[in-house]
Amino acid sequence: MQDPTITILIPTRNEVEKLPQHLKLLAPLLSEVAEVIAVDSESSDGTRELLDQALAPLANARVIDQPKGLYQAWNHGIRQASGKYIYVATIGDSIEPGGLQHLVEVAQNNQADVVISAPRMEMVGTGETCFTRWPIHHLLDAVPYPAVFEVDSLMKLILCYGFMPGQGIMGSSASNLYRRSFLASRPFPTDQGHGGDSVWGCKYAVEAKIYATRRICARFLAQPVAPGHASQDQIVTFEAVLNQVEASLKYLGVANEMGDVAYARAFLLGRLETNKMLIDGPRLIKQQFEYIGDLKADLDRRGVLIEQLDEECRRLNGLVHQAPQLAKPRGLKKRIARWLDPS
C-alpha cells in the first residue's frame, strides 16, 4: 500500500495523445494515495475531457483549471493539495510504484523537505538509453555515500552551480518528492521558462533539508536537442542561476557554519565567470544575427537604388543614342557664349 499522505499532481496542456499511456503507467498508484489533482491549462484538444472521464471513477481524484503557464499550474495544484508530500507526475515521465513508496520512506525517516533520485534516461520515441547525465548522476558516481544520505551545504553548492545551468540540483521533478508545506511557502518561479524547478533548487537549496537516494525510481524521457545557440528559455535560466550564484556568494561571505568557505567561494567565483560567458555567448550570437539582418536590409535598400540607377543609365544611354538624330537648335553656340560672358 502507498502512503496515504501523498498528493500526485498531474499538470497538463494539450496532451491528449500522450495522456492515455501516462495514466496507464500511473494507474497502480492513483487509487492508493491521499489525492490526485490534475491541473489542466486551457487545453483545446480534448485533454480536459479525457481527464474527466479517466479520473471520474476515483473518489480521491479531481480536475481543476488554471490559465496556461507551466509553473503557474504546478503552484496552483500545490495550493489546492492536502497531502503531506507532493509528487509531480509530468507527462511522459514515470515512476515505479515501489519507487514512489521508497521516496516517501526516505522523506519520513529523515524529515526531509526534498528527496532527489537519479532517473533512468531514455530518448523520447525510441526507448533507447540516453547518455545525457545530470549533476545527481555524477554525484552518485563520484561520492562514496551510503544508499541514502543528506546532501550537505557544500555539496548543494556544487550541485547547483558546478554544472551547466538549467540542470541544477533537482534533476527531474518526476524522480523527486517534495514536502508540501515547504513548497507552499516557496512557490516555483513562473518567469524562468522551462527552468523554473532548476532555479527553485538553486534558490532554496541552502534552507531545504535535501536527501538523495541511490535507488533509480523513475524514468525521464529526454528530448533531442536542436543544434544552434541557446534558446531564449536557456538564457533566462542562465540569468536566474547567475543571480542565485551571486546571492550564494553573499551568503558565504557571512556564513560561519560551513566547513570550507574559502574553497566554496573560489568555486562559485569560477562558476560566476562561466555563467556570464554562457549568457553573453548566446546574446553575442543573437546580436550578430541582428547585425546580419541589418546589413541585409541595407543591401536590399541599396539593391533597389542600384536598380533605379541602372534604369536611369539605360534611359540616358537611349538619349545619347538618339542625340545625333535630334535637330540641333539654331544659335545655340551664341547663346552659350552670352551666358558665359553676359557683358
Q: What is the pLDDT of residue 338?
A: 62
Residues 38-77: tens digit of each pLDDT:
999 999 999 999 999 999 999 999 999 988 888 999 999 9
Residues 217-233: tens digit of each pLDDT:
999 887 665 444 455 56
- Residue 206 CA to residue 238 CA, distance in Å, equals 19
CATH class (in words) of the domain with range 6-228: alpha beta
C-alpha dihedral (8, 14, 19, 20), degrees to nearest 10:
140
Q: How far is CA 231 from CA 8, 50, 90, 276, in A?
A: 31, 32, 22, 16
Q: What is the DSSP letter of 230?
A: P
Q: What is the pLDDT of residue 140?
A: 82
Q: What is the pLDDT of residue 229?
A: 41
Q: What is the pLDDT of residue 257?
A: 47
Of 181, 138, 133, 180, nearest to 158 (Cα)?
138
Half-sphere exposure of 84 (CA within 13 A, CB side): 12
Cα end-to-end span (Å), the chain? 119
Q: What is the pLDDT of residue 204?
A: 86
Q: What is the pLDDT of residue 258?
A: 47
Domain range annotation of the chain: 6-228
Q: What is the pLDDT of residue 153?
A: 74
Residues in the chain with pLDDT < 70? 1-3, 125, 127, 131, 161-168, 223-242, 244-246, 248-296, 298-299, 313, 316-343
